[in-house]
Amino acid sequence: MEKKELNNAKDIKKQSFEAKKMKIPSKSNIKKDKALPWWVELLFVQIGLPDKFLIKILRNKKKLKDFIKNYKKSIFAFLFFITFLAYFYPVVRQSKNKLECQTIAKDYISKNKDLNKISSKELNMLSTNFCNGGEEIYEIENIKR
């Protein structure tokens, strides 16, 4: 009698398992029911672009994911380097402009002002002052007279 009860219990479990299996759709059905991405819906369903473009796009998307996965450190280093250059470029440009201004001011001072006794350090000081908006050059001419 115990064997019959065990068989009945197994049959009940089997039936309940089969009932649950019927209620839950399999994974293959879930994948088929997935909605298309919005860009596929827009470009290939609504607008009607050829399917060969979709194949190329999906292939390139997969290649890009693989590339990013394989070269993640290199890509990060490259982006860090580009960000570094973009951050410091204005500083470098301003320094370059100041140096050019100082060389032009030195030439201007040495040509237009008759300063034979001035040292190179004083000439640097005067050119820096002139590039920063100072007017000492004009005052030196008044003092000499």
Q: What is the predicted pLDDT for the residue at 96?
A: 95
Structural domain contains residue 24: no
Structural domain contains residue 136: yes
Q: Which of 141, 142, 110 lies closest to 127 in space, CA to CA? A: 110
Structural domain contains residue 53: no
Structural domain contains residue 2: no
Structural domain contains residue 52: no
Domains: count for the chain? 1
Q: What is the predicted pLDDT for the residue at 70?
A: 94
Structural domain contains residue 123: yes
What is the chain's pLDDT, residue by residue, as a tens digit (145 residues)? 555 555 566 666 666 666 665 665 555 555 566 787 898 889 888 898 898 999 999 999 999 999 999 999 999 999 999 999 999 999 999 999 999 999 998 888 888 776 667 788 888 888 888 888 877 766 665 544 4
Q: What is the predicted pLDDT for the residue at 135?
A: 75
Domain hosting 96: range is: 72-145
**CA separation (Å) from 110 to 63, 97, 124, 132?**
63, 20, 11, 18
Structural domain contains residue 84: yes
In angstroms, rounded to a whole number, what is the distance separating the alpha carbons of residues 87 and 71?
A: 24
CA angle (137 as vertex; 135, 141 as ends), nearest 5: 120
In angstroms, rounded to a whole number, what is the distance separating the alpha carbons of residues 90 and 29?
A: 58
pTM here is 0.47
In angstroms, rounded to a whole number, what is the distance separating the alpha carbons of residues 122 and 118?
A: 6
Report the 10 Å Cβ neighbour count for 42. 12
Q: What is the predicted pLDDT for the residue at 94?
A: 93
Structural domain contains residue 41: no
- Which residues are within 8 A (CB) of 118 and not within 5 positions of it... i.e. 6 or more apart? 126
